[in-house]
Amino acid sequence: MKNTLSTTIVLTLLSTPFAFADSYKRIKKAADFNAIVVDKNLAFGPNTAIIRSNGKTDGKLKKQGKYYGAWAWQNGYYCRNLVVTKNETGTNCQLVEFDGKQLRFTTDKGKGRVTNLTFK
């Protein structure tokens, strides 16, 4: 009886869509990225960022201080090159997702580090 009940519960959980499923949707178009993200004050932990409509970006990192750089929307990705503590980071293209309240940026075209951002 116990095994049947356990099996039933496991099968039910595996076949039922999870209520906490990921609600982030990928931003694919430049126009959507511009409307949602550009020229907004963003925060990720104690850090800040502004991705500006003139192709520039800047902000402040808790440990490294102020940074700046340039960005462009390329083939469905946010591509940016930053200068942090006088060192250029090199261009990195990031997958951007939005859940209606928060943003999620994933480096290396969605294969790298994830950063969650909120609007300040």
Is 15 within a domain?
A: no
pLDDT at residue 22, as a whole number: 80
**Side-chain-facing half-sphere of 54: CA atoms under 13 Å:** 5
pLDDT at residue 17, as a whole number: 43
CA angle 29, 30, 33 (to 5 degrees): 90
What CATH number does residue 31 fall under? 2.40.128
Closest residue by Cα to residue 27 from 92, 96, 83, 74: 96
pLDDT in tens, 75-110: 999 999 999 999 999 999 999 999 999 999 999 999
Whether the pLDDT of residue 13 is over 60: the answer is no
pLDDT at residue 21, as a whole number: 61
Is 91 within a domain?
A: yes
> What total of structural domains would you count in the chain?
1
Instruction: Identify each DSSP E strand in the chain by its residue range.
Output: 25-26, 41-44, 47-51, 56-61, 65-74, 77-84, 87-88, 92-98, 102-106, 114-119
State the average pLDDT over residues 49-73: 98
Identify the band that residue 9 occupies on the pLDDT scale cut at 50, 70 and 90.
Answer: very low
User: Contact 94/105 with Cβ under 8 angstroms?
Assistant: yes
State the average pLDDT over residues 36-56: 98
Is 95 within a domain?
A: yes
Whether the pLDDT of residue 12 is over 90: the answer is no
Question: Domain span at residue 55?
Answer: 23-119
Is 2 within a domain?
A: no
